Structure 1
Amino acid sequence: MISVGIVGGTGYTGVELVRILLRHPHVQIKALTSRTEAGMRVDAMFPSLRGLTDLEFSNVDQDVLNQCDVVFFATPHGVAMKQARDLVEAGVKVIDLAADFRLKNTAEFEKWYGMPHACPDLLAESVYGLPEINREAIKAARIIGNPGCYPTTVQLGLLPLLKAQEQLVQFDTLIVDAKSGVSGAGRKAETSLLFSEASDNFKAYGVKGHRHHPEIVQGLDAMGQQKGWFDQMIFVPHLVPMIRGMFTTMYLKLTEQGKQTDLQTLFETAYANEFFVDVMPAGSLPETRSVRGANQLRIALYRPNDGDTLVILVVQDNLVKGASGQAVQNMNLMFGLPETTGLEVVPLLP
């Protein structure tokens, strides 16, 4: 059994980890921490877990965490990097669902997250946890920076184009129009997240600049054949009045070669062996409810009026493939388990 610790168990990504791992056949949750709710039963805060666990939240105990095989950090940015060294030195693997180990450039991290990085040497060895791209590196990693939700949709939506032998689109024309449910902002008391503020409302945010922008550019540059392709990328996130779900629409101009290429077949071939990425049939319209509660990402392609614009539609559950499910996918790889273990969940409908 894999002995698991979860630091920060009271947020949405924390309880999502618990929900998934309680049904994982090779996992035992040894520690579930909360500095503010120590001593409270987990099912008292989250009644959906009644009858499934007797776990209680506990204070952070480094000795207990050091005895785990892997520790997930479902905490605000800046927490994991302060504890990672002790854990790694004790032989514990670390999977951080925040941003501490995503951006390789420490200056970029400090710019966007407003704090110095506590362990740049560990950042240098960390692996970006997008399995469909970094599978082999993840298997050997000690530290995983779990991707952000928006970056997951963008990178997987563009991967087949970046891996194509010829340039099929003009990458410098990329426009990313992305929407997320309110759970993406976390479980916190904030005026903009109140029901009367978020319900019956639809708004853009981070238009001047969003912290996922440099993460997206870093990932796309690493996959591409030429640096600087994405410097002019326009990324606009929106908050929509739903709890779960993410819908990312991307627009790119096709090259002459791209207009002659069967892009549907290109994408289907690229993801033929990826359980968690579904390239939908031509003419399909993906919906966020089709992935609710599951570690699934669905992609559809359009070329309106057979013109020179490619439209890529991507949906996922921001809390699962966009966060906790992907983290468990990474854990499975790190411990030599089938990648789908504990994650073969049928989406909820309606």
Structure 2
Amino acid sequence: MSSLFTPLDIRHTSFRNRLWVAPMCQYSAVDGMPNDWHHVHLAQFASGGAGLVIAEATAVVPEGRITPEDTGLWTDEQRDAWAGIAAAIRARGAVPGIQLAHAGRKASTWSPFSGQRGSVPPAQGGWTTTAPSAVAYDGFAEPRALDAAGIDEVVDAFAAAAVRAIAAGFEVLEVHAAHGYLLHQFLSPLSNRRDDEYGGSLANRARLLLRIVDAVRAVAGDLPVFVRFSATDWADGGWDVEDTVTVGRWVAERGVDLLDISSGGLVLHQRITTGPGYQVPLAAAVRRGTGLPVGAVGEITGGPQAEEILAAGDADAILAAREWLRDPHFGLRAATELGTPTAAPWPPQYERARPRIAG
């Protein structure tokens, strides 16, 4: 059996393999409600052999949406709409997960399908955004700095969304602290200019994330809790791998089970050199530094490449995104590429198409 198709157990949850679906925004919701598009989009990956399917960045409050078309979990109606999707993923053998998010100063933006960039004006369905400091992302509207009461409301919103996610049937909760969204904005000195208990030192800048982790962990019971980090801002004076390791240790002490390691997204002047597996060294460094299991992402497109990452000890799981869009049966294909086509469970309806290996 390959490393990629070796099951992974976290708390009381068993993942049938280590090839997972990363959260991918679809910008296709109305008033935060997932719909048939989300159902088909996510369930197909479970049929295609994924071990875990994580639903897109889902806002915990209306003003936390990246665009007006983002999904949410701030109402019971949204919870009920998600329930059928989580059940469909589970029925096809994968674990259903969801990423809980708040976009902060990168909220209220135009959908990528709109042909426009920047902030959506309130007159056209946008809203005033919030952030640690009144510092805008380049080209976006200036946000309002959260006060103490606003910070408390964010913590409560994450906890309430976690309760709804569990009631909807999700079995993994991921806290989104990456890609320049609200929690990442608090973590990085490039966006956090506060001089109170939530700014200045690393411990202060991490305070909101730690409070949210405590709140989510308190309601999650025995379900796994992940945190997605951008391991570096790719910009001078910003958040870096050493910071990620330090705060990764802190969230581990609070019961986080796995770190999902990505990078960038905080500032427009970031300088990234991409390429196959370009973020894997970041995941490996965080894994070594924290001792926690990590997921690796970033231009991972084939079974042999994923297998090599795991075999080298650079990660414990592979989270892919665009490759699943290109091939919703990536899991089935990866097993065949590794010479073990029976390692991934083919739906009986597709069994006639399973490749046969002679000999």
TM-score (norm. length: structure 1): 0.29
TM-score (norm. length: structure 2): 0.28
Structure with the higher strand share, 1 or 2: 1
